[in-house]
Structure 1
Amino acid sequence: MGVPGQLLPLVVALELLGGLAIAFGLFTRWIALALAGFSVVAALIFHNQLGDQAQFINFFKNFAMAGGFLILAANGPGALSLDTWLANRRTKA
């Protein structure tokens, strides 16, 4: 697809570590923004043949994921997140 192979370790790290960070609620807003941007870029680069039904579905799946990440970035993590725990720890100290 013309994407440099040197980016592969960064992509793997973002997907794996970013997913874990979201799951645990660590740096939630920043990671959610990064994953939203990544989802949109991936849709535009890899799923741009909208005449193919599978590519069409994957294109809009990526945009739906980006929307979910943007909602997460806007609302932040929940009460049972590491971000909340760290914020509470800072205010008590």
Structure 2
Amino acid sequence: MSLLTILGLAGRSLIALLFILAGAAKLFGPKPFLEHMRQFRVPAPLLVGVILLEIGAGGAVLAGWNLRWSAGALSAFCLVTAVVFHADLRNKVERTAFFKDLALCGGLLSMAVAG
């Protein structure tokens, strides 16, 4: 196995782990996530889709399966998350979360393009 293959797997694993763990947290303890969604007028039934996306696409990224689609879907999800939940750029914590989500969006978009 080449160094580039190992580094690619490590990079995919680290990004995928973020989404898989986030999805699992929502699955096993949804209450705080539902409350947060309610604050931003995001319909509660969307949480099921978010969980499926985070765990499913996160697992697909980890496995390298349908990478263009799975990384692309997570990239779009990060962009929407930044805009919907972290748009208060006057707040330092929200501004940091906004730009972290944009950075993840960019990294995942690069992964999707590279396939």
Q: Give distance in 2, aligned partners of 1:37 and 1:19.
A: 13
Matched, 1:6 2:72: no
Residues 4-47 of structure 1 deviation map (CA, whole Å, 9 limit, x = unaligned):
11110000110111111101101110011111111000000000
Q: Give the structure with higher Rg (CA).
A: 1
Q: Extract unaligned runs of 5+ from structure 1.
A: 77-93
Q: Give distance in 2, aligned partners of 1:39 and 1:56.
A: 14
Q: How many residues align?
A: 76
Q: Extract unaligned runs of 5+ from structure 2.
A: 1-39
Once superposed, which parts of structure 1, at least 4 consecutive aligned residues long, lie more than 4 Å away? none
Letter in 1 for 2:88: Q
For residue 32 of structure 1, the aligned residue among 60, 67, 71 is 71
Residues 34-76 of structure 1 deviation map (CA, whole Å, 9 limit, x = unaligned):
1111100000000011111110000000000000011101111
Normalised to the residue count of structure 1, the TM-score between the two structures is: 0.79
Percent identity between matched residues is 39
Normalised to the residue count of structure 2, the TM-score between the two structures is: 0.65
Q: Which residue is 2:105 aligned to?
A: 66
Structure with the larger RCO, 1 or 2 (CA within 8 Å, 6+ apart): 1
User: Considering only aligned residues, what root-mean-square deviation do their CA atoms show, in Å?
Assistant: 0.6
